[in-house]
Structure formats: structure tokens, C-alpha cells
A = this chain, B = another copy of it.
Amino acid sequence: MQEQQSIQSTGAPTHNQNEHVQELLPLLKALADETRLKVIGLLATRAHTVEQLAETLGLRASTVSHHLARLAEVGLVSARPSSYYNVYRFEPQALARAATLLSEKAQQAPPPAEVRQPFAEDTVVKRYLGPDGRLRALPAQQKKRLIVLRHCLAAFEPGRRYTQNEVNDILREFSAEEYVTLRRYLIDYGLMDREPGGGEYWRVE
């Protein structure tokens, strides 16, 4: 139970971020083109027709029209027919919105690097435990193995004594196949101890 909660809270990417991505990505894709950036720069100075832009940029009108359509899709420019021209103008609000979204993302400051472990335990735990909290495999590296074992150890209350069957039941929650191995490792790594002769088990403090 506890493990599952901690896993879920650790792993799932938040919804807000995805929503921001969905709003931000089209804007960024529209902006991430040299020609379109130039177009925006020109339109920021004054409104232009397609042909004026095409001449200044040295491109075909059809190409410019294509870019303007892409920019208009995300609201970065707008068109207003006048005589038989289409006068395009820049829409600063859309760009300001993009800037705001980026700024918000930038302020999701990660915790200072000194405080955190180079390998946060929950990171390793997440890799070796499925979303149901069950163990996928036992890490080969001792460093990781120890982290996973400590995670399993958290299922036991400090000070309380368990029979071997109780221990097995709890460890089977992590791996129905390897719970015996887990039990042995917990002893080997000094995380648990037991009475000689198959007696009771307990957490080592």
C-alpha cells in the first residue's frame, strides 16, 4: 500500500504539464523556422502584403503564403482583406502567450543539486518496480539492489517481530517468484535479522 502510493506520486507526469505542452508545442513549431521568424520581424514593424514579404525575403509568393498560413493557424498573425490584397499583421498577444508559457516552465526550478542524492532512491525503485508495485527484476548491481531492498524493508514495521510466513506474505507482494531470494538478501545485507533455527524475523535498526 505505502509502496504503491509512493510510486504513483513519484512517477506519474502531472496533467498540467501535458496541457501546457499541447498549447506550447504548436506555437513553438510555428516559430522554429528562420523564414517565419523573419516574417514576424517584418510584420512587427508594419503590416505587409504577401508580395511585399516575398520580395523582401527573396521567396516565392506561394511559399510566403504557406508560412503565413502556418503562423495564422496559431494566431501569431492575422489577415485583413483590403482592395484585392491581403494585409497581414502581427499579433503580439499570441507571442506574449508563448513567452509566458516558457517562463512558467522555466520557473519550475529543480531542487538544488547539492541537496539531492546523485541517485535518488525512488528513481531506482521506479525502474525496477512496475506501476503495481511489483518487482520486475532484481538489480545486478549491489548499489541498486540495496536500494530496492530498502524499499521492500519499508513494508515492515520497526520493532515488530514477524513469523517466516508473515515475512513471506509481505515479500510475495513484491515478487511472487523471488520472495525467498528477497528474504535471504534482506538478511545478507543486514537489513533484517532473525532468531536462529527458523524463528521470528525483525527489522534491524
Q: Which residues of A contact B (CB under 8 A)?
A: 13, 17, 21, 24-25, 28-29, 31-32, 34, 37-38, 40-49, 51-52, 55, 80, 82-83, 85, 87, 89-90, 92-93, 95-96, 98-100, 102-103, 105-111, 113, 116, 118-120, 123, 126-127, 143
Q: With a CB–CB cut-off of 8 A, which chain B residues contact A32? A: 25, 28-29, 31-32
Main DSSP-derived SS at the A contact region: helix
Closest 4 CB pairs of A and B: A32-B32, A99-B102, A95-B106, A99-B103
How far does the alpha carbon of A199 sit from the alpha carbon of B55 in the complex, in Å?
Answer: 41
The answer to whether A52 touches B123 (Cβ under 8 A) is: yes
Q: What B residues does A123 contact at CB under 8 A? A: 46, 48-49, 52
Q: Residues of B contacting A49 with CB < 8 Å?
A: 123
Closest B-chain residue to A107, C-beta based?
Answer: B92
Chain B residues whose C-beta falls within 8 Å of the C-beta of A83 in the assembled complex: 118-119, 143
Could you say which of B45, B55, B98, B107 contacts A102, with CB atoms under 8 Å apart?
B98
Q: Are A110 and B82 in contact (CB under 8 A)?
A: no
22 pairs from A and B in contact (CB 8 Å cutoff):
A13-B38, A13-B41, A13-B45, A21-B34, A21-B41, A24-B37, A25-B32, A28-B28, A29-B32, A40-B105, A44-B108, A80-B113, A83-B118, A87-B119, A89-B113, A92-B106, A92-B110, A95-B102, A96-B102, A96-B103, A99-B102, A103-B103
